[in-house]
Amino acid sequence: MPSREDERVPLLEVRNLKVSYKTYRGILKVLDGVNFEIEKGEKVGIIGESGCGKTTTMKAIMRILPSNAIVEGGEILYNGTDILKMSESEFNKIRRERFAMIFQDPTAALNPVFKVGEQLMDILRYSKGTGKYDEDDLKEEIIGAFREVMLPDPERVFDSYPFQLSGGMRQRVCIALALLTAKELLIADEPTTNLDVTIQDQILRLIKDLVSRRDLSVILISHALGAVRGLVDRVYVMYAGTMVESNEVNELFRSPKHPYTRALLSSAPRLTGGGISQGIPGNVPDYLNPPSGCRFHPRCESKKFICDIEPPSFFSVEKGGKVACFLYAER
């Protein structure tokens, strides 16, 4: 039986990615060797609290990091080729034709001075690559996408300005756009965080439905732990610029392994009651002077001697999970 590695190359593989930011206070060493991969057609979630580096990772993949960011090391392999080494124009082609991204704030993603339909036509044209496209055809496609995301009265939405639509509708427009332009990979960065819970639920169900019909690969980023659960197959947990655990989604929530994951999950209030924990002692690390070895060790109850000396690698545990913690290192 051939091993998984030589069966097929993952769609996207991030290897040991290190990214820092240059600020006037000094260098913020944010990403400290991020490892993560996604197969074709897979749906992966990344959960972590604010500042842990999830958005930086996504920006690195889409190559939209700000000018003060430095990629210190690592590779991002798309179908085996390192996109960090590609030229601007080469990657541009891939990004506009194969990838799509849904951002956290739909208001910021849409240009307020243009009608929604106009903007989307521009973007759709751009994403299809060079060539002439019939305006009416493009419009048809967009209206069709609006119907799929269940926007009421799609024609009217097409002719509206963003401010005339509610938050939920705007986000649905962005999702429609992403689905029109995403051929292979969809990255959704906190797509429902600013929305009401009932709308959130509708939109997540919608994304799930649409994604399954198209066999898209999806990376869903969220700090809301429960939001990813219904949508993804596998979850990565991120802390202070490193991936600390990954596992099949239900398994992770049922049986978290990494001390951070455990502490995080026990801080989340349960609908069934039972009280809340006191949170995690200590504070998130200062990226100017991050802790040595494992970045979680100052806050970890199970800290061992080696934890502040060496950063742990991703050790395998049962059911395909991986944990970056010496508690699980093979002897």
Q: Which residues, listed in sequence order, are joined to residue 80 by a DSSP beta bridge?
A: none
Is there binding between residue 24 and another protein (CB under 8 A)? yes
- Which stretch in 137-145, 173-181, 202-210, 307-315 sits in contact with another protein by CB under 8 A? 202-210
Is there binding between residue 316 and another protein (CB under 8 A)? no
- Which stretch in 18-26, 122-130, 176-184, 317-325 sits in contact with another protein by CB under 8 A? 18-26
CA distances from 113 to 116, 117, 163, 176 (A): 9, 12, 9, 20
CA distances from 280 to 61, 128, 218, 314 (A): 30, 47, 30, 22
Select 67 or 87, whichever has its Cβ closest to another protein: 67
Among 129, 144, 230, 320, binds another protein (CB under 8 A): 230
Is there binding between residue 208 and another protein (CB under 8 A)? no
Is there binding between residue 197 and another protein (CB under 8 A)? yes
Residue 176 burial (CB count, 10 A): 27
Among 223, 262, 303, 304, binds another protein (CB under 8 A): 223
Is there binding between residue 67 and another protein (CB under 8 A)? no
57: left (phi > 0), else alpha (psi -120 to 50), else beta? alpha
Q: Which residue, chain included where needed, has tokens 């206070």?
A: 25
DSSP symbols for 35-52: EEEE-TT-EEEEE--TTS
Q: How far is the CB of 239 from another protein (least distance, A)?
A: 10
Among 2, 6, 25, 331, binds another protein (CB under 8 A): 25
- Find the binding residues for another protein in span 275-314 (CB under 8 A): 275-280, 283-289
Select 10 or 241, whichever has its Cβ closest to another protein: 241
Q: What is the DSSP letter of 104?
A: S
Which of 130, 5, 16 minimizes the C-alpha distance to 82? 16
Is there binding between residue 66 and another protein (CB under 8 A)? no
Host H or E run for residue 208: helix 197-214
Among 27, 77, 199, 327, binds another protein (CB under 8 A): 199
Among 2, 87, 274, 330, binds another protein (CB under 8 A): 274
Q: Which two tokens stand for residue 31?
A: 């990403």
The separation between CA 157 and the C-alpha centre of its own chain, rounded to angstroms, equals 28
Is there binding between residue 273 and another protein (CB under 8 A)? yes
Euclidean distance between CA atoms 12 and 15, whole angstroms: 10
Is there binding between residue 147 and another protein (CB under 8 A)? no
Host H or E run for residue 31: strand 26-38
Select 168 or 312, whichever has its Cβ closest to another protein: 168
Q: For residues 136-150, b (16+ Cβ closer than 10 Å) or e, as one string? A: eebbebbbebbebbe
Select 33 or 285, whichever has its Cβ closest to another protein: 285
- 319: CB partners within 8 A, 6+ apart: 247, 248, 251
Select 129 or 226, whichever has its Cβ closest to another protein: 226
User: Would you tell me which residues interact with another protein (CB under 8 A)?
Assistant: 24-26, 28, 49-51, 166, 168-169, 196-202, 204-205, 223-227, 229-230, 253-254, 263-265, 267-280, 283-289
